[in-house]
Amino acid sequence: MGVVVQRQVCASCAGVAFTVDPLTGCGDRLVLESAQGQGLAVVSGMVTPDRIVVDKNSLEILTIECGQRNTMQLSLSENQIREISRYALAIERWYGRPQDIEWALDGQGKVWILQARPVTTFDALQARAKAVEFYDPPRPPGSRWTRVNIGEALPGVPTPLTWSMWSGGLTMAQRESQIRVGVISRREDGGRVPLLTLARGWPVLSVDLLLSQVAQVPGVDPKSFSEQLLGVAEDVDAAPLGARVATALRMTARAPIALGMLGRRLGRASAISRRAWQREVSKPAVDPLALLAGAAARFGETLTAHTMQTYLCQSLYQAVERFAGTKVIDLLSGDGDLPEAHLARDLWLLAGGRISLEHFISEHGFHGPDEGEIASASWRQDPEPVLHAAQAWVDGDRLRDRVAALEARRDERRRAEAALCASVPRPCRRAVARLIAMARRALVGREIGKAAFLQDLDVARHAVSYLGDDAVWHTLDELRSKVHLTSADIIARQRIRSQCATLEPPLSFAGDPGEQSCGTVEGVPSMITGVGASPGCARGRARVVTEPASAVVLGADEVLIAHTTDPSWVMTFMTVAGMAIDVGGTLSHAAIIARELGIPCVIGTGNGTRAIPDGALVEIDGSQGTVRILGAPTTDRSGSA
């Protein structure tokens, strides 16, 4: 037994070095993982590190994967990479076996070796192989997948607990909702293709399964469904006549009852989730495992009602679009009833000192950056983003304008509805007005369902805070069964997650997704296109935001360029001139809120965050679906995300 006396290093950069490739066991290379700040964030897997592969013999740098997408600046210089590599090789020679070495750089750039331990090859490789299989399970050859839609809820690589809750909840929700309305029978097993899976760690939905089910539904255009919900128009073969007839008969018997009860079912689920959230997160978790299991069960039930509401919303949206054309956007504004509209008003009231932070958190504290991920902190746990936004908006006329826009949208909708009704024969006017009202209520109901399942997730987040830091690296079934993963298993999952985060698959693909760099594309195009989701034009400097925590307060002369958004981004939407989003369609969250707040928005650009330089002068046309790059970035971008 000895006492270790070690100097504390104030790290400016830190990470780990492997003298054998931990993914393949290949012994002719070194693998370095590094990030700014302390090494704990790298080892725990909570940040995406830079990953550098170095040839052992020549110390030639073979590959570099930059972990920070928003800066694309490597945390190490080439000289520092080679210096750390030489230390690693010396340590390996001293111990005579492959090593896992933790290191740090101090403020003067000096390398410090913190600790070294042997890479237990069999255990480490076995754990890594299991982690790779978890994050990249096999998929049927040629099967089609998309990250659109699911990417709004889970925009990155989830922790195992988060993924197990989402995959279990969504699988149940999709199947139950389709059975209840009669699209499929309970005897059908769904075939060999799962609804959703992970591809290189990123959540993806089965295009084949979704469209094969939609193709059986009378009156629904699968191609239009694909474009509105998945953001891409996919060709779909017609379902066999027998299948369509069987579906029509089932839906005739089941759909009227299921849809007639949907409003009450959704309202009940929302009320239960709300009460559970208000009750549970305000007190210590006496039995955190039971609390987690209860939250997961409610999450599945809420998702089922929400999924049914989403399909109803899609069908009614298409019905209005058939006779209203592009005016559908004006007709289906939420009339100020969306949960995010209430969130926007309360942010304004908080900034003006008319409500307290405690009141705001009691209403909206389940939101937060990357709110679909259980490992992320909600505003309830960390209200700093809310406080920062409120302080920045104390004298904000822009915020007042956005709240006024909520009222203006109501008048615009009424004028658009009156004009449409006047253009149709008098006997049809009442039916048209009723259809529009139904579609608008369905849209609001969809967002209410989203708020409810986010409350369920925050209860799960509260339970996990009592289970220890390693809980999120277990699946829900592992926690229920009291399976204790080894440290090698947990470390492997953490590191594979970090590595997957640096290699983003395409938005849609068939078979093997391949991989694309998370950096910028070569060359700057003069224009990128997407879907016009909220009308109007805006010009300003592009603010490329790829990390949810960076999306707080932007200037009125800035245009938000983001990969995807969730409700917590409303505080960012409130001040921007316009926005362009990589992922989504006209029924995506960002599109709906942009229309409510009167913000020009282009959605579904695919690669806007990679193609548009941060600080470039851009012009958004939310009617035509275009983003023009008019000028190069300015030199002073000290406030960029």
Q: What is the CATH number of the domain that holds 67?
A: 3.30.470.20
Same domain for 91 and 159? no
Smallest CA-to-CA distance from 166 within 454, 366, 436 is with 454
On whether residue 130 sits in a domain, the answer given is no
Smallest CA-to-CA distance from 165 within 372, 447, 307 is with 372
Rounded CA separation 235/143 (Å): 14
Domain CATH for 555: 3.50.30.10
Q: Between the CA of residue 193 and those of 148, 183, 350, 399, 554, what are the distances in Å?
A: 18, 17, 48, 47, 42
Same domain for 243 and 321? yes
Q: Which residue has the tokens 């080679």?
A: 82
All residues at 6 or more sequence positions from 100 whose CB lies less than 8 Å from its CB, including other chains: 16, 17, 18, 22, 116, 117, 118, 119, 124
Same domain for 78 and 41? yes
- Are the C-beta atoms of residues 312 and 401 closer than 8 Å to each other? no
- Long-range CB pairs of 59-62 (<8 Å, 24+ gap) are 59/85, 59/86, 62/29
Q: Which residue has the tokens 């658009």?
A: 416
Determine which helix (DSSP H) or strand (DSSP E) holds 133, and give its type and residue range. helix 121-135
Rounded CA separation 171/72 (Å): 36
Least confident span in 195-209, 455-469, 521-535, 600-614: 521-535
On whether residue 205 sits in a domain, the answer given is yes
Rounded CA separation 482/463 (Å): 15
Mean pLDDT value across the chain: 86
The predicted structure's pLDDT at residue 518:
47
pTM score: 0.78
Rounded CA separation 205/154 (Å): 12
pLDDT over 60 (residue 182): yes
Over the stretch 382-409, which tens digit does the pLDDT of each residue have?
999 898 888 877 655 666 666 677 677 7
CB atoms within 10 A of CB 530: 24
Task: Among 82, 104, 119, identify where a domain stops.
Answer: 119
On whether residue 510 sits in a domain, the answer given is no
Sheet containing strand 196-199, strands side by side: 196-199, 202-206, 144-146, 508-510
Q: Which residue has the tokens 């224009």?
A: 527
Same domain for 384 and 444? yes
Over the stretch 450-505, which tens digit does the pLDDT of each residue have?
999 999 999 999 999 999 999 999 999 999 999 989 988 999 999 999 989 888 88
Same domain for 195 and 47? no
Same domain for 308 and 238? yes
Same domain for 110 and 150? no
On whether residue 234 sits in a domain, the answer given is yes
Task: Among 476, 497, 518, identify where a domain stops.
Answer: 497
On whether residue 517 sits in a domain, the answer given is no
The predicted structure's pLDDT at residue 511:
83
Same domain for 161 and 113? no
On whether residue 131 sits in a domain, the answer given is no
CB atoms within 10 A of CB 54: 23
Same domain for 176 and 115? no
Rounded CA separation 537/600 (Å): 6
Backbone φ, ψ for residue 494 (5° rounding): -60, -45
Distance from the Cα of residue 277 to its chain's centroid: 22
Range of the domain at 599: 527-631
The pLDDT of 336-343, averaged and rounded, is: 80
- What is the number of structural domains in the chain? 3
For residues 423, 426, 427, 430, the Cα torsion angle rounded to the nearest 10 degrees is: 70
Which has the higher per-residue pLDDT, 5 or 267?
A: 267
Structure token pair of residue 133: 């299989």
On whether residue 636 sits in a domain, the answer given is no
Same domain for 575 and 462? no
All residues at 6 or more sequence positions from 506 whose CB lies less than 8 Å from its CB, including other chains: 147, 513, 514, 516
**What one-letter code names the amino acid at 491?**
I
Same domain for 31 and 159? no
On whether residue 520 sits in a domain, the answer given is no
The pLDDT of 144-163, averaged and rounded, is: 91
Structure token pair of residue 148: 């659109």
Which has the higher per-residue pLDDT, 467 or 35?
A: 467
Same domain for 562 and 472? no
